[in-house]
Amino acid sequence: MSVLPHHGGWGKFLAGLKWVVVDEAHTYRGVFGAHMAYALRRLKRLCAHYGSEPRFIFLSATIANPGEFCARLLGDWGRTGSHHRRGDAGPRGARVAGQRARAGELPAARG
C-alpha cells in the first residue's frame, strides 16, 4: 500500500518522521523533476498534518546551486536553509607531485 494516497494507515509513521533522504537529486529535472517535486511537497504537507516537520536531506555530487535547486523541489521559495559541502569529501589516494599515485607507486616514507 503506497504512503501518499493511503496516509491514514501511515499516520503514526508520518507523525514520527524526522529525516527524508533524497539521493541523486541532480537527476530530478524536467517532467520527472516536476513529479518528484509534487510528491515531496505532498509528503511535506502530510507530515505537517500529522504534526511532524522532517528535515529533507538531498544528496548530489554534481549540482552547482544546491540550495536554490532543493528549495525549488520543496517549494520553499526564498528559504533555502541549505548547508552544503563544497568540494569532494570522498576518500582519495596519495598524491605524488600533484598527481594521483597508482597502486604500488606510493612515495617512500620519510624518516
Per-residue pLDDT at 20 exceeds 90: yes
Hey, what's the cell of 35? 513529479
DSSP, res 77: T
Task: Check: CB of residue 57 under 8 Å from CB of residue 94.
Answer: no
Instruction: Count CB atoms within 10 A of the CB of residue 43.
Output: 19
Global confidence as pTM: 0.66
What is the tens place of the pLDDT at every residue in 31-88?
988 888 899 999 999 999 999 999 988 888 787 788 888 888 888 754 555 555 555 5
Which pLDDT band, with edges at 50, 70 and 90, does 109 fall under? low
Q: Which residue has the higher pLDDT, 15 or 96?
A: 15
